[in-house]
Structure 1
Amino acid sequence: MIIHLLPDSPKKEGRSFPRLCFKEAVREKKTTRFFLTEPGVKAFEKSLLDLEGEGLSHGLLGISSTWDTCGQWLCSIGISTGESGKADSLKIWDSMSTLIIEAFYGGSHKQLVDLLQEDLEDCVLYTLPAKKWHWRARTSALYFSQNVPVSDNYRILFASSVLNLTELTALRPDLGKLKKVLYFHENQLVYPVQKCQERDFQYGYNQILSCLVADVVVFNSAFNMESFLTSIRKFMKLIPDHRPKNLESIIRPKCQVLYFPIRFPDVSRSNVITCGKQCTLLCIRFMPEHKMTHFKKIFGLKGNEDDTPLTDLPFQQKSRVTESLMKNSHLNLESGLCEVQSGPHTTQQDSLSNPLTKLEDLNKAHPSRNSDPGQKEDKEHTTLNLYNTLSGTDAQQRPLHIVWPHRWEHDKDPESFFRSLLRLQEAGLSFHVSVLGETFTDVPGIFSEAKKALGSSVLHWGYLPSKDDYFQALCMADVVISTAKHEFFGVAMLEAVYCGCYPLCPKDLVYPEIFPAEYLYSTPEQLFKRLQNFCKRPDIIRKHLYKGEMARFSWAALRGKFRSLLTTEPREDL
């Protein structure tokens, strides 16, 4: 088993180490994670002594360090529980046969390796935080070569294409002997850049070299794979002379497509919130009633018999009380809102774990990940007002609600998106918009301009760090739009469709592979006209049932394929 000790987050500063939870995890041999404050180190050591006193011998088998997203130290500690003491401990530690390395531990990269680590009992994960992507691509191999401990029992190395696998295996010949699986979330050969510079050549070149040393090359879509392989020849022509040949024919036999696995949450349940000084309880259904037919269709898709594609949102794991509250309430099925008898005021320290959430807390702005002080205006998010959205108007008559859940970066082409919305506004059409997604250091100026221009049409503006808030926003929307100039899969679009949104995507990139033709547009004018029609008759969109298939992208459907990929017998030369 592995216990992951993470530095305590700022919001929980000073919290003591959870000794009881830790000891329970050790007793049950569970792989888990704990936040660790500086005083918590002593509590951790005391917990080990307690376990020893209880007859549960332990061994501190190895400590590997990495850095979390705040630049703080993070350690993974191998711990055993067994009567035979340290010898048995070493055996358990040595059973870690799968080594996972993620040089950009954020977004979809983080989602994937977290799923793998959770599912595979014999794997160990080493990461670097998701920032300064270019530096991660240039230097992470050297860092990991010095920080991944040597082990004779590793059999498989799994890494994303951000890592320069060639450099790592040259610096660490022991890792070069493993079965090396390289996963492409995106490829640099067709990635759009604002300003082409000679130094950018190295990113695509490094990915080609990594493919040459990898044993298996996995892409998250056929578009990603084909766009990479068919671009190699043209890309290598950038070399002035003495160009290598036949690289595509060497790499292609190693390649396969394995869709990114999405763990879809259960959004059919309801959340209970308190609002106002009178502490009135309100039952807010994640998915409005008019979307429930869509949701039942998703439930009924074939291909999930082995496992449900759904998982509880964090707060739902402790919100079974909601069901009994609903039974005793007057429920407005169309609005998705019900008013319950007034009850005692309930405080919460963590909105992810307590089902009784204050409405005021849900309406507070969440901090953005934008670290640029010059973008202060973008960090002040418009609140997500549940009252205005869910009550007071018949569900089929409310203005069209458009959501844009993408990174605030140039490759997602926010300019095209906002141009369409401003044209709708100029035409006198009513609509609501929620602009979600992460922000980074450089935010395109169009965001602050559009926020002012759209005014009261904005329901929410900015990144939602908690998954329950994020999926609730998707469930309240009607249409999800992509205007991307680059997309190799599109997790956010699929999550929105799962939540009942009608997708509108470019007839380009990966989208024709993922979505039926009905949901694709060819020009910005086509996008505007379709939105224009939707604004005039939002009720039609709300009755629409998605015609594509979702099950093939679920973790339930793809879990076995990933396990097979990472549990293959080791190579004979090991």
Structure 2
Amino acid sequence: MKILLLSAYDAMSHAYWRKGLVTAFPEYDWTVLTLPPRYFNWRLRGNSLSWALGEREVLEAGYDLLVCTSMTDLSALKGMVQALSSIPTICYFHENQFAYPQADTQHKSVEPKILNLYTALAADHVLFNTAYNRETFLGGASQLLKKLPDHVPSGVVEQLRKCSSVLPVPLPDSVFEQHSVPDTLQPLQILWNHRWEYDKAPERFFMALDHLKEQGVAFQVHVVGQSFRKVPDVFARAKEQLSDELGCWGYVERVEDYRKLLQSADVVVSTAIHDFQGIAVLEAVAAGCYPLVPDRLAYPELFPLKHRYRSYEQDPEQEARVLARALSELATTKASGKALKAPDVQGLSWHALKPCYQEWLEQV
């Protein structure tokens, strides 16, 4: 089977899925086109132009299947490249613009939502990484359509629901490593391993650590993850205030070192107000970390209740106190010699999910 794979905004999570997909199915003939994850508004609206005029020979090479991400301007691309219009198409949604929180400095435009909607309608089948992603997309599309002034056809959301399914981004088998035996003489090893951006709500995490310090709870914290040119000010303040408790800080360049860190940490924490699947947390859990996540977003479908602290999305201070209390209890549990057991996420491995992906690739 000859497959064209388009990743129009090839951010780290998109590349993670894309590379895993190609690696999992070497028997297929893959042609892959990507665009860099920058200039968001231009990339979202301009990828059809960039490819239609810049990669026409590749696009017209003849394929059995087209697989694209939700950032692809699929309806415009099929309109400009007629050879693509009749190819069976799967669109994969890592996230959707209806449930993506906006920073105060961002211009609130409806266009990214409209493009998500048109791309989904231009595909034969739509796959979402979580049920949370699917339901917020369908709910958001329904609300948007109700606001439009006239000539809005009925049944759009029902049509999308019928041609959509949930299929998570699989975890590579390499992340399922034996967890290190915890040293009960060491303080609780806390890991925060997310993008250093506002939607991961780092200020809530650092507030919780401040409460732990005030209570005299011993801990060591590892703050790692991808950062960009503009880093929230809270990181610089936290690095200074937590100097005595700091372990690893910043992006871990070597994959081997990162995997060792995951295997040695006791608990991985999320404070996110935006996460459609939470791969960073899931990789840590696969390595043996105990997850502590807010009771919102996709987390209720991923982890049992005991791993979810109460969500106060509109009250960061209250949520930080709840998180601090949960971390304090885990520190006590570790000091007593009891194991902090991670839930089993083997069902999200490529080994487990490959047959599901193969079924969709061949069926569509």
**Is TM more than 0.5 here?**
yes
**Which of residues 349, 355, 359 in structure 2 aligns to 1:560?**
355
**Which of residues 216, 222, 235 in structure 2 aligns to 1:447?**
235
Unaligned residue ranges in structure 1 (runs of 5+): 1-95, 269-285, 291-394, 570-574
How much has 1:517 moved relative to structure 2?
A: 0.8
**Which of residues 166, 183, 187 in structure 2 aligns to 1:257?**
166
How much has 1:441 moved relative to structure 2?
A: 2.4
How much has 1:184 moved relative to structure 2?
A: 0.3
Aligned length: 352
1:517/1:261 CA distance change after superposition, 3 Å: same
- TM-score normalised according to structure 2 size: 0.91
**2:134 matched residue in structure 1:** 225
**Which of residues 518, 539, 543 in structure 1 aligns to 2:335?**
539
Moved over 6 A (4+): none
Q: Amino acid of the residue matched to residue 268 of structure 2?
A: V
**Which of residues 33, 51, 60 in structure 2 aligns to 1:144?**
51
**1:436 matched residue in structure 2:** 224
> Do the aligned residues in 2 keep the contact of 1:403 with 1:479 (CA within 8 Å)?
yes
Q: Distance in 2 between matches of 1:196 and 1:141?
A: 27
**1:100 matched residue in structure 2:** 5
**2:204 matched residue in structure 1:** 416
1:437/1:197 CA distance change after superposition, 3 Å: closer
1:150/1:491 CA distance change after superposition, 3 Å: closer
> Do the aligned residues in 2 keep the contact of 1:552 with 1:558 (CA within 8 Å)?
yes
More helix by share: 2
The SS at the match of 1:230 is helix
How much has 1:130 moved relative to structure 2?
A: 2.5
**1:372 matched residue in structure 2:** none
How much has 1:196 moved relative to structure 2?
A: 8.0
Q: Distance in 2 between matches of 1:416 and 1:112?
A: 29
**Which of residues 307, 314, 323 in structure 2 aligns to 1:527?**
323
1:454/1:150 CA distance change after superposition, 3 Å: closer
How much has 1:214 moved relative to structure 2?
A: 0.6
How much has 1:195 moved relative to structure 2?
A: 3.0
**Which of residues 17, 21, 31 in structure 2 aligns to 1:124?**
31
How much has 1:406 moved relative to structure 2?
A: 0.6
Q: Does 1:288 align with 2:193?
A: no
Q: Distance in 1 between matches of 2:94 and 2:145?
A: 21
> Do the aligned residues in 2 keep the contact of 1:189 with 1:235 (CA within 8 Å)?
no
Q: Distance in 2 between matches of 1:540 and 1:224?
A: 39
> Do the aligned residues in 2 keep the contact of 1:478 with 1:541 (CA within 8 Å)?
no
How much has 1:264 moved relative to structure 2?
A: 3.1
1:22-171 aligned within 5 A: 97-118=2-23, 119-120=25-26, 121-146=28-53, 147-148=55-56, 149-151=58-60, 153-171=62-80
**1:278 matched residue in structure 2:** none
1:542/1:158 CA distance change after superposition, 3 Å: farther
**Which of residues 263, 266, 285 in structure 2 aligns to 1:497?**
285
How much has 1:186 moved relative to structure 2?
A: 0.3
1:245/1:518 CA distance change after superposition, 3 Å: same
**Cα shift readout 1:90-113 (whole Å, capped 9, x = no counterpart):** xxxxxx610001112231211111
How much has 1:512 moved relative to structure 2?
A: 0.6
The SS at the match of 2:353 is helix
1:248/1:189 CA distance change after superposition, 3 Å: same
How much has 1:458 moved relative to structure 2?
A: 0.8
The SS at the match of 2:252 is coil
How much has 1:541 moved relative to structure 2?
A: 7.7
> Do the aligned residues in 2 keep the contact of 1:220 with 1:259 (CA within 8 Å)?
yes
**Which of residues 101, 104, 120 in structure 2 aligns to 1:211?**
120
**Cα shift readout 1:57-116 (whole Å, capped 9, x = no counterpart):** xxxxxxxxxxxxxxxxxxxxxxxxxxxxxxxxxxxxxxx610001112231211111122
How much has 1:166 moved relative to structure 2?
A: 1.0
The SS at the match of 1:105 is coil
> Do the aligned residues in 2 keep the contact of 1:401 with 1:431 (CA within 8 Å)?
yes
Aligned-CA RMSD value: 2.0
Q: Amino acid of the residue matched to residue 113 of structure 1?
A: R
Q: Distance in 1 between matches of 2:108 and 2:279?
A: 30
1:507/1:150 CA distance change after superposition, 3 Å: closer
**1:182 matched residue in structure 2:** 91
Report the structure number with the largest CA radius of gyration.
1
- TM-score normalised according to structure 1 size: 0.59
Deviates more, 1:219-228 or 1:557-566: 557-566
> Do the aligned residues in 1 keep the contact of 2:175 with 2:286 (CA within 8 Å)?
no
The SS at the match of 2:195 is coil
Q: Amino acid of the residue matched to residue 5 of structure 2?
A: I
Q: Does 1:172 align with 2:77?
A: no
> Do the aligned residues in 2 keep the contact of 1:267 with 1:471 (CA within 8 Å)?
no
**Cα shift readout 1:218-250 (whole Å, capped 9, x = no counterpart):** 000111111111221212344455545432112
> Do the aligned residues in 1 keep the contact of 2:225 with 2:250 (CA within 8 Å)?
yes
Q: Distance in 2 between matches of 1:516 and 1:558?
A: 21
Q: Distance in 1 between matches of 2:105 and 2:74?
A: 24
Q: Amino acid of the residue matched to residue 122 of structure 1?
A: D
Q: Amino acid of the residue matched to residue 404 of structure 1?
A: W
1:240/1:445 CA distance change after superposition, 3 Å: farther
How much has 1:504 moved relative to structure 2?
A: 0.6
**Cα shift readout 1:425-461 (whole Å, capped 9, x = no counterpart):** 1222211001111012221111111111111211011
Q: Amino acid of the residue matched to residue 262 of structure 1?
A: L
Q: Distance in 2 between matches of 1:565 and 1:421?
A: 44
Which fold has the larger relative contact order, with Cα–Cα distance below 8 Å and residues 6 or more apart in sequence? 2
Q: Amino acid of the residue matched to residue 132 of structure 1?
A: Y
The SS at the match of 2:212 is helix
The SS at the match of 1:217 is strand
Q: Distance in 1 between matches of 2:324 and 2:154?
A: 45
How much has 1:145 moved relative to structure 2?
A: 1.3
> Do the aligned residues in 1 keep the contact of 2:266 with 2:340 (CA within 8 Å)?
no
**Which of residues 214, 217, 221 in structure 2 aligns to 1:426?**
214
